[in-house]
Amino acid sequence: MALPKQIRPEYNTTIPSSGKKIKYQPFTVREEKVLILAAESQEMDEISNAVANVLNNCISHPVDFKIDDLAIFDIEYLFLKARSKSAGETIKVVIRDPDDESYSTEHEIDIDKIRVVKTKEHTNLIDLSDDLKVKMKYPGLEFFTEGVKIDNIGDSLETVAKCISSIVVGEEVYNSADMTNEEVTEWLEGMTTEQFKKLMTFFETMPAMKHEIKLKNPNTGKDFSVTLQGLADFF
C-alpha cells in the first residue's frame, strides 16, 4: 500500500513589486537538498536554476506563477519567506560595529519584520529630453546570484541594456524585445553623460530588501546602526 502524500501548509504574502497576493509553501527536504548541492557547486547557472525551480514549486497560487516575471528583490523576499517557514522564522546574523572593528555580536532577526523598502522618488519611466523617454524593467532572475553591477561604466552599460523595456521617441515606441542587446548597448553609448546618469537613478533608487538594526557597543558605550540589504546579508 502506497504511503499518503505529504500535505504542506500554505501561507499568504504579497509580491512587493506588483502588490499581487500569492500563496506559498515551505521547502521540502528534497528542495533543501537541491539548494545545498547547487550552492556547493558554486556554479551561478546551477544556483539560479535551483532557486527558480524551488520557488516555482513552493508558490501554490496563482497556478500560472512564473519566477521569470519577478524583480530580483521579489525573488529575494519570497525565497526568504519560504526559507523561514522551513527552517524557523528567525535568523541569526553577526553584526559588527562599523566604528569599532574589534566588536561584533550575534543578533536574532524576526524574518516577518524584514521588508522591501521603496523610495518615493523612484520611477521606471525616465525622461531624457522633451521627446525622449526610456521605460525600465527591474533586474530579474539572471541577476540573483551576482547582483546588480553598476560599479563601473562597462558593468553599468551591460546592466542598463538588459533592463530597458522600451524607448519612446516622440510618438514612436521601440520595444527592447525587438532589438539585440548589442543594438541597445550601441544606442546607450551615444548618450550624453548626463542622460546616462538619469538612467542610473533607476537602480540607485529601486526597491530593495532592507532591515536596520540599532545596537549599543558595550566597549564604547555608543549606539550604532547597521542596515542589512539583499539576501546575502541575511544568511
- pLDDT score, position 52: 86
- The answer to whether the CB of 196 falls within 8 A of the CB of 188 is yes
Q: Which residues are CB-contacts of 111 (< 8 A; sequence separation ≥ 6)?
A: 80, 81, 84, 89, 90, 91
Closest to 24 measured CA to CA, from 46, 50, 55, 2: 55
How high does pLDDT run on average in the chain?
89
- Which amino acid is present at 136? M
Strands 164-169, 172-175: pairing is antiparallel
Sketch the domain layout of the chain as residue ranges.
Answer: 11-88, 91-116+208-234, 122-205
Residue 97: which pLDDT band, with cuts at 50, 70 and 90?
A: very high
Cell of 26: 515551505
- pLDDT score, position 12: 93
Name the DSSP letter for residue 210.
E
Residue 235: which pLDDT band, with cuts at 50, 70 and 90?
A: low
In DSSP notation, 111-157 reads GGG-EEE--TT--SEEEEETTEEEEE----GGGTTT----SSHHHHH
What global pTM score does this model have? Answer: 0.83
- pLDDT score, position 99: 94
- pLDDT score, position 107: 93
- pLDDT score, position 91: 86
Look at the chain and count its residues. 235
The model's pLDDT over 194-218, given as tens digits with 9 standing for 90+, comes to: 999 999 999 999 999 889 999 999 9
